[in-house]
Amino acid sequence: MNTQQNATHTWKFFRTGGLDQVLLRNGADIEQLKALDQKLWTALSCPTKGIRFDVKTLDLLDTDRDGRIRVPELLAATDWLSARLTSLDTLLEGSDTLRLSSINAATDEGKALLANAKRILANLDRTAADAISLANVADTAKIFANTRFNGDGIVPADAADDAETQQVIAEIIATFGAETDRSGKPGVNQAKTDAFFAAAAAYLDWTRRADAAILPLGDQTAAAAAALATVRAKVEDYFTRCRMSAFDPRAAVPLSRTDADFAALANQDLTDGLPAIAAFPLSKIAAGRDLPLLEGVNPYWADGIATFRSAAIIPLVGADCTTLSSTQWQTVKAKLAPFETWAAAKTGAEVATLGVERLAAIAAGKAQSAITALIAKDLALEAENAQIVEVEKLLRLNANLATLLNNFVNMARLYDPNACAIFRVGTLYMDARACNLCFHVDDIGAHSGQAAASKCCLAYCQLSRPGTKETRTICAAFTAGFAHSLWVGRNGIFYDLDGKDWDATIVKMVDNSISVKEAFWDPWRKIATMIGNQVRKVLAAKQDAALLNAAKTIEATGAAPAEAPKKVEGAALASTAAALGIAVGLISTAIGGVVSAVAGLPLWKTALGLIVVLLLVSGPSMILTWFKLRARDVAPILNACGWAVNRRLRLSLKLGRLFTAEATLPANSERQLTDPFADDHTTRNMLVLLVLAGAAVACLWFSGLLDCALPNALKHYQPPPLSTAIEQPSSPVTPSTTQALKK
C-alpha cells in the first residue's frame, strides 16, 4: 500500500545504528502514521507468537486471525482509537489506567464507551471514580455480581422470581450441566433449556406406549428382564449343548468338560466367583435334560439362576417350577421380548431420574415459557453489555500499542539500553558471558539457514526444565568475547523474562567473527597449531620407526628380550629427543635468520620491524574481521523468526558489547594474586629469561651498541690493523677519508 506524506505534519527522525528512524513523540505522530511512507517503517509485519507481548492485545489486533500483525491492522487500530479518545497522547504513557476525561464524548463511539465505563464502575461501587483500569474490566464476575441480566444469554436460578421456575432451572443444570454466567453463577441457556424439555416430552411419550403386553409383570417387568439378560447367554449355551448330545451321545461327556478340565482346577484355591468356573456349563449335559434351578447348578451362576427364577420364572411359569425345560425357556423369552424391544427404544433417558410424575408436572406447567422469557430478556442487553469488550479493548490498546509501535515502526527499544525489545526472550549465561540478544526459535534448520546472513556468531540452544518437563529452543547472538570457546554440547543457564531458569545446551553453531581482538590472535593460534601438528607428526614418525626397528630386532633374535617394553620406550624417547632437536634446530635457524636480518640496524628500526611483522601476520585478519563486524545485521535473524523487517538493523561494536557482557570484577574488589595450587614454573621461567637476555645482548652486540664497553677483541666492528694504516699513501686527511677508513 503506497501512502503519501502529509505536508502539514512535521516528522522527526533519530539516527541509531546507522539508520534514520521516525521518532514517535506524541499522539499526533501516531495518528499520522497512515501518511508515513511505508519504506520508512522498520518492520512491515511481525508474528503473534515467539514475542514478549500481551497475548490478548495481539489477538485484538490480529483481525484476520492469520497469526501475524500487519501494517493495515495497526493503522486500523489507530483509527479506532482516534474515534474514541480525545488525544492519542495517552498511548505514550503506556498505562492500563485511563482517565474518563480522555474518552471522547463528542463521538457516538466515545459516548457509548464512556457510558459503559461508568456502568462498570457503578457495578463495582466506584461511582465517584474518575478513571477506569484494566483490572476493573478483567473480573466480569464482580461487574455483574449484583445484576440479574447481563446480555450473555445465560440465566442463573435466582434470575427467576417464582420458586417453581427456579427449581426447574436447577433441575436442568442437574441433568444437562451448567453454563457459567458472566456473574460467575451456574445457569442455563436456550439450547440446554430446549434440550431438557424435548427430552422430558420424549420420555413421557415413551412411557405412555407401555401396555399390558409390554409390561406383563407390571412394575416388576423391568427386574424380570434384567434377570433374564444376566443368564440369557449361559442358558442358551446349556440347551444347545443338550441338543448336541441328543444329536450324538458321544458329545455329552466332552461338552460337560473333560477330566483334564476339572484336574486343572485341583491345584487352585476355589471360590464360587472364580472366573475359570464361569466357563463351565450351567449343569451336567445330557440329551433332552431340563435345566435344574435349585440343585446341580454351576456355583458361579447359582445366584444368577436363583434371581432369574424368583423374578421371571415363578411369576410367568409358576412357583412349582424347579427345573426349566427348553419349551418353558422359549415361553419366558417370548413374554419378555416386547418389553426388551420397548426398553431398547427408550428416549429422554437424560431426565429419567426425575420420574414420570415430576416430568409430567413440569410439562404441564409454565416453566418452559418463563425460562425462555428470562433468556430473551437477558439477550436484550447483549448489545449494551458487548461494549464491555470494547472498554477492555480500549484499555489494552492504550497500555500496549505504543510499545508495539516502537518495535515495529521503529526499533527504538532495540537500541535503548534501558528497554527490552519484544523479540528478546531472556538472557543466556555461558562462557563467563551474559548474552542478552536471544530469540525464540521453532525450527533450527530453517532459522539458521536465513540467520547466517546476519554475519553474527549464533548459538542455537536446547532449553529444558527437568522438574516440569518443559522444553524450548532459542538462538543466542554472541557479540563480544571469543568464538573459539563455544562449541556444540557446551552447557549454560538461561533465564527467561519471567525469571525461570532453564538448562541450556548448544546444539548448533553458526560461526562468525566476534571481535577484532580475537582476529589479532587467530593467525598466531593457527601458526601454533600448525607447528604443534608438525612436531606431533615428526614425533609419531620417529616413534613408529623405532617400534618397527625394535620389532625387526626381536624377529631376528627369535625371542623377545625380557625388557622389550623398556627398549621400545627408550627408542621412543630417543626419537622424541631427536625430533625435539630438529624442532630446536629449525627454530634456531629461524632466529638466526631474523638476527642476521636485523644485525646492524638501530634499535628503533628493529622494534619497528617487529611491529611490521606483527601487522603483516595479524593485520589482514583484523581488517577482514573489522569489515565483517561492520556488516553485522539483526534483520536476517528477525526475518528468520517470522518478521518482515524492512530495513537493515546494524549491530555496531558498541552495541555488541552491550548485548553480550563479559565477566568483570566488581568495583573496589580485592584480589589475592598468589595461587597456592599453581604449577611451579621457576626453572622454565629462568630459562626463558636467560634466553631473552641472551637474545637482547646478541641484538645489542650485532648492532654495535656494546662496542664502547667491550675490549677490542670482543667488539663487533673491529678497527683496521696498524700496518695497513702505515702502508696507505700519504694524503691530506679529509672528512671523506675518515669516513672511508671507518668503513
Pairing of strands 43-47, 644-645: antiparallel
Is pLDDT at 459 greater than 60 in this prediction? Answer: yes
Please list, in sequence order, all residues whose beta carbon lies within 8 angstroms of the beta carbon of residue 142, skipping any fewer than 6 positions away: 123, 124
Q: Which three cell numbers stand for residue 2?
A: 503506497
| Helix/strand/coil for 677 | coil
DSSP letter for 36, please.
Answer: S
State which of 137-141, 265-269, 513-517, 607-611 shows the largest mean pLDDT.
265-269
Any idea of the CA torsion for 681, 682, 684, 686, to the nearest 10 degrees? 150
Radius of gyration (C-alpha) of the chain in whole angstroms: 49
Whole-number pLDDT of residue 144: 66
617-625, Cβ contacts within 8 angstroms, sequence gap of 24 or more: 617/523, 617/524, 617/527, 618/519, 618/520, 618/521, 618/522, 618/523, 618/524, 621/519, 621/520, 621/522, 621/523, 622/516, 622/519, 622/520, 624/519, 625/513, 625/515, 625/516, 625/518, 625/519
Q: Residue 417's Cα: distance from chain center in Å?
A: 26
More confident position, 592 or 602: 602
Whole-number pLDDT of residue 384: 65
Is pLDDT at 258 greater than 90 in this prediction? Answer: no
Whole-number pLDDT of residue 378: 86
Whole-number pLDDT of residue 689: 85
Extended strands (E) in 271-347: 291-292, 323-324
635-644, 685-694, 710-719, range with the lowest pLDDT: 710-719
Whole-number pLDDT of residue 732: 52
User: 43 has which bridge partners?
Assistant: 645
Whole-number pLDDT of residue 726: 47
CB atoms under 10 Å from CB of 84, counted, come to 24
438-442, 454-458, 734-738, range with the lowest pLDDT: 734-738
389-393, 399-403, 641-645, 699-703, range with the lowest pLDDT: 699-703
Tell me the C-alpha distance between 408 and 403, whole Å: 9
Whole-number pLDDT of residue 3: 46
Tell me the C-alpha distance between 419 and 411, whole Å: 11
CB atoms under 10 Å from CB of 325, counted, come to 15
Supply the mean pLDDT for the chain. Answer: 84
Whole-number pLDDT of residue 568: 42
Whole-number pLDDT of residue 380: 80
Measure Cα distances from 550 to 67, 85, 540, 543, 574 in Å. 74, 96, 15, 10, 13
Residues 607-634 have a mean pLDDT of: 74
66-75, Cβ contacts within 8 angstroms, sequence gap of 24 or more: 68/642, 69/45, 69/404, 69/408, 70/44, 70/45, 71/1, 71/38, 71/41, 71/44, 71/45, 72/1, 74/33, 74/401, 74/404, 74/405, 74/408, 75/33, 75/34
pLDDT per residue over 593-604, tens digit each?
555 555 555 666
For residue 171, the surrounding DSSP H or E stretch is: helix 163-176
The pLDDT confidence band at residue 68, using thresholds 50, 70 and 90, is very high
DSSP letter for 650, please.
Answer: B
The pLDDT confidence band at residue 564, using thresholds 50, 70 and 90, is very low
Tell me the C-alpha distance between 322 and 319, whole Å: 8
Residues 73-101 have a mean pLDDT of: 95
Query: Residue 187 burial (CB < 10 Å; 0-12/13-18/19+)?
Result: buried
Whole-number pLDDT of residue 41: 95
Q: Which three cell numbers stand for residue 435?
A: 548474552
Residue 560, phi then psi, degrees to nearest 5: -80, 130
Q: Are 620 and 511 in contact (CB under 8 A)?
A: no
Is pLDDT at 194 greater than 60 in this prediction? Answer: yes
Q: Residue 211's Cα: distance from chain center in Å?
A: 65
User: Considering only CA atoms, which of 68, 70, 110 is closest in space to residue 88?
Assistant: 110
CB atoms under 10 Å from CB of 350, counted, come to 16
Residues 415-434 have a mean pLDDT of: 91
The pLDDT confidence band at residue 571, using thresholds 50, 70 and 90, is very low
pLDDT per residue over 302-336, tens digit each?
999 999 999 999 999 998 999 999 999 999 999 99
Whole-number pLDDT of residue 539: 80
User: Considering only CA atoms, which of 48, 43, 47, 18 is closest in space to residue 33?
Assistant: 43
User: Considering only CA atoms, which of 485, 426, 429 is closest in space to residue 457?
Assistant: 485
The pLDDT confidence band at residue 742, using thresholds 50, 70 and 90, is very low
CB atoms under 10 Å from CB of 450, counted, come to 14
Whole-number pLDDT of residue 146: 61
Measure Cα distances from 661 to 425, 462, 480, 481, 490 in Å. 16, 21, 7, 9, 18
Is pLDDT at 422 greater than 70 in this prediction? Answer: yes
Please list, in sequence order, all residues whose beta carbon lies within 8 angstroms of the beta carbon of residue 270, skipping any fewer than 6 positions away: 277
Whole-number pLDDT of residue 268: 85
pLDDT per residue over 143-175, tens digit each?
666 667 777 889 999 888 899 999 999 999 999
Please list, in sequence order, all residues whose beta carbon lies within 8 angstroms of the beta carbon of residue 203, skipping any fewer than 6 positions away: 346, 347, 348, 349, 351, 352, 356, 359
Whole-number pLDDT of residue 313: 92
Is pLDDT at 636 greater than 80 in this prediction? Answer: yes
The pLDDT confidence band at residue 743, using thresholds 50, 70 and 90, is very low
User: Considering only CA atoms, which of 18, 74, 1, 21 is closest in space to residue 412?
Assistant: 21
Residue with cell string 441480566: 149
Residues 32-56 have a mean pLDDT of: 93
Residues 653-672 have a mean pLDDT of: 85
| Amino acid at position 526, single letter | K
The pLDDT confidence band at residue 481, using thresholds 50, 70 and 90, is confident
For the chain, percent helix, then strand, then coil, each to nearest 5?
55, 10, 35
